[in-house]
Amino acid sequence: MKPSRECKEAASLIKEYRGSIVAFTGAGASAEAGIPTFRGKDGLWNRYRPEELATPYAFATNPRRVWEWYKWRMSIIAKAQPTMAHKVLANWERDGILMGVVTQNVDGLHQRAGSFKVIELHGSIWRVRCTSCGIRRDLGFGNIPKEDIPRCDECGNILRPDVVWFQEPVPLDQFQRAEELFSEAKVILVIGTSGVVMPAALLPINAAREGKILIEVNPEETNLSNLARVRIREPAGKAFEHLARLVEEDLT
Ligand SMILES: NC(=O)c1ccc[n+]([C@@H]2O[C@H](COP(=O)([O-])OP(=O)(O)OC[C@H]3O[C@@H](n4cnc5c(N)ncnc54)[C@H](O)[C@@H]3O)[C@@H](O)[C@H]2O)c1
Ligand SMILES: [Zn+2]
């Protein structure tokens, strides 16, 4: 299939602004890896609604059930491979085209694809945190806790996934790092996000307000679509296959 007009337009902006580009990714960036999104079609996690399980209230009332759901999600993610979109973003960072990635995803696939500068706004599913002493522990990609409710080695209290749940604030240090990275960028690649989760969505919204160029990659229209200069209505993997070819063609 030939690249669309939008892909060509995006590729020429990427070449023009190389070195001043940041990617902002959401669940859709990992959809082709077989990891369901929260919203959009096919965005249903098992028989539960994420809004009912990814909350402090759900964990306080039934930690076993929340852990069961997380361990099931971990088992899906553990089998997933980075998509073409993850790989191209990692290559572009290595080649000095991309400054880094700000992600809402918790799956760790950007790092697995070889990206170094990855700001995780919503934490990582491969890290746990003690609900009592606050200590954090990296599990390592693919390592799913065996216990029904894992416990802290230090104080014996219940561990939770070190992710940001609905109704919880985003870690301030991560958000500030993301703001700094955005402030240096001229182009933002907005990939696979519905743009409704706050405050994360403020990053591209403010960037557009400041005159930065947004390029959206999403098969569906979103909250951010009308802010974007270019809208690529394709799955991220397909779009990045085209973009990689178009960008590299001229740079070599
Ligand atoms: N992989 C993950 O880590 C994962 C998965 C699900 C949810 N989450 C969490 O849920 C929250 C949901 O917000 P969100 O905006 O990231 O996701 P979302 O679920 O709200 O929206 C997903 C978006 O991806 C789009 N999409 C679907 N398939 C796509 C594809 N192949 N290519 C490009 N786009 C595609 C959809 O049209 C939709 O706009 C985030 O905070 C995130 O932490 C993470
Ligand atoms: Zn502890």
Q: Is the CB of 53 under 6 A from ligand 1?
A: no
Residue whose CA is closest, atom 29 of ligand 1? 28
- Crossing angle (nearest 10°) for helices 236-251 and 84-94: 30
State the pTM of this model. 0.96
Find tokens 């995006």 and name the residue.
10
Rounded Cα distance between 228 and 212, Å, is 9
Model confidence at 42, pLDDT cuts 50, 70, 90, reads low
Side chain identity at residue 128, one-letter code: V
Q: What pLDDT sits at residue 233?
A: 98
Question: What band does 41 get if pLDDT is binned at 50, 70 and 90?
Answer: low
Q: Residues of 227-239 as b/e, b for ≥16 C-beta within 10 angstroms?
A: bbebbbebbbbbb
According to the model, what pLDDT value does residue 46 have?
Answer: 55
Contacts of 183 (CB under 8 A, 6+ apart): none
How many Å lie between the centroid of ligand 2 and the Cα of residue 158? 7
Catalytic residue among 86, 110, 122, 242: 122
**The predicted structure's pLDDT at residue 44:** 57
CA distance 35 to 27: 8
Going 198 to 139 to 86 to 21, the CA torsion angle's sign is: positive
